[in-house]
Amino acid sequence: MAHMMADSSPTTGLKQRLAHPPTKVRSKFVRVLRAYPLVFIGGLMVLALIFVAVFADKLATFNPNFQFANGLAPDGAPLAPNHTFIMGTDDLGRDVYSRLLFGARVSLEVGVFASLISLFIGTTLGIISGYYGGFVDSVIMRITDIMLAFPFILFVVALVAVLSPSITNIFIAIGVLGWAVTARIVRAEVMKVKEFEYVQAARALGSRQWRILFKIILPNIMAPVIVLTTLAIGNNMLLESTLSYLGIGVQPPTASWGSMLSEGQQVFEYAPWLLYYPGLALMLAVLGFNLLGDGLRELFNPRRVR
C-alpha cells in the first residue's frame, strides 16, 4: 500500500507529519524471495533441468546412441570418466554425459505431460463430484477408490503392454491412472469452498453455474492443486524411471534415466559411475520439483505473502 496522506487532513485542515515516514517498498519478487528462498532454489533446479532438456542436442558432446569403438577398454569394460567422455561410457561404449542430457528430455516430458493429464482429469472430476454431490459424487468417488486400491505399477504395466511402450503411451498411461489423488483433494476443497458466503454472494449477483465453478471456486482451490501437480511431476519422473528400469518404459536405444540405471546395474561393481550420474540427476530433478512445490504453496496463497 502506498503511503500518500502526508499533507493536511481534509476534515480539520491541520498539517500533519507521518509518524512512520515511508520507506522504500521492495518489489513483491524480492519480498517473496527473501521470505521463501526455497522457491528460488527449487525454481533454479527446475529451470536448469528444463534448459538441459530443451538444449540437449546443443549441449551433448556426442550422439547419445552411438557405440564408440574407443568407448570400451580392451577387456570390454566401460571407460571411467576421462577427457573425451567426461562422465565415462556405458557397457556398450556410449557416452554417459550425452545420454544423461537426452534422458532429461524423456524424464521431463513424461513427468510434465503425465501430470497435466492427471491434473485435467482429476480437477474436472473432483469439481463435479464436490460441487454437485449426491449420486454423481458417489459414482466418481467409488471409481476413485478403485483407482487408489489397484496396484498402480501393475495397472501401468498392463496398460503399457496393451498400448505398446513408447514415450507418448507412457505418459498417457501414467496420467490417465494418476488422477485419483488429485480428484480427491479437489473434491474436498470444493466441498469446503462452496459453503463460503462468497459463493452464495456470487449466485445473488446472477452468476451462471460455470462462472461460479470456474471463476469463483476454481481459483480458490488452485493452491493445493498447483502444489500437488508440481510434486506429481517429480513423482511421475520417478515412475517413468521405474518403468524404464523394469524394461517396460522407454525402449532401447533411447536414453532415459531409468533405463540407464537398469543397464548400469549389471556392471555396477566395476563401473559405479553408471549409477551415480543418472541417480544423482534423478534425485536433483525430483528434489527441485519438491522444493518448488513447497514454495509455490506459500507463494500462491495471497494471505501469506508479506
Partner 1 sequence: MSALLEVSGLTTSFLTASGYLPAIEDVNFAIEKGETLGIVGESGCGKSVTSLSIMQLLSSNGKIQKGSILFEGKQLVGLKDTSMRKIRGNDIAMIFQEPMTSLNPVHKIGKQIGESLRIHRGLNKEQSKQKAVDLLKLVGIPRAEDIADEYPHRLSGGMRQRVMIAIAMACDPKLLIADEPTTALDVTIQAQILDLMRKLKAEREMSIMLITHDLGVVAEMCDRVVVMYAGKVVEQGAVRDIFRKPTHPYTIGLLSSIPRLEDRQQRLSSIPGNVPSIEVMPAGCRFASRCPHATQRCADDEPSLLSVTDNHQARCWLVDEKGVAV
The residue ranges that bind partner 1 (CB under 8 A) are 1-2, 4-5, 196-198, 200-208, 211, 216, 219-220, 222, 302-303
CB of 137 to partner 1, least distance (A): 13
Task: Please identify, using beta-carbon distances, which residue of 21 and 206 lies nearer to partner 1.
Answer: 206
Task: Please identify, using beta-carbon distances, which residue of 219 and 272 lies nearer to partner 1.
Answer: 219
Q: What phi and psi values does residue 26 have, to the nearest 5 degrees? A: -75, 150
Task: Please identify, using beta-carbon distances, which residue of 82 and 138 lies nearer to partner 1.
Answer: 138
CB of 276 to partner 1, least distance (A): 45
CB of 24 to partner 1, least distance (A): 18
Neighbours of 218 (CB within 10 A): 17
- Quote the cell numbers at residue 139: 459414482
CB of 200 to partner 1, least distance (A): 7
Cα–Cα dist 169/148, whole Å: 21
Task: Please identify, using beta-carbon distances, which residue of 150 and 196 lies nearer to partner 1.
Answer: 196
Task: Please identify, using beta-carbon distances, which residue of 14 and 204 lies nearer to partner 1.
Answer: 204
CB of 121 to partner 1, least distance (A): 23
* Cis preceding-peptide flag for 253 (omega within 30 of 0): yes
- Concatenating the DSSP letter of every residue in 154-181 gives HHHHHHHHHH-S-HHHHHHHHHHHS-HH
Nearest to 201 by CA among 186, 191, 214, 216: 216
Cα–Cα dist 272/267, whole Å: 8
Nearest to 247 by CA among 145, 142, 118, 160: 160
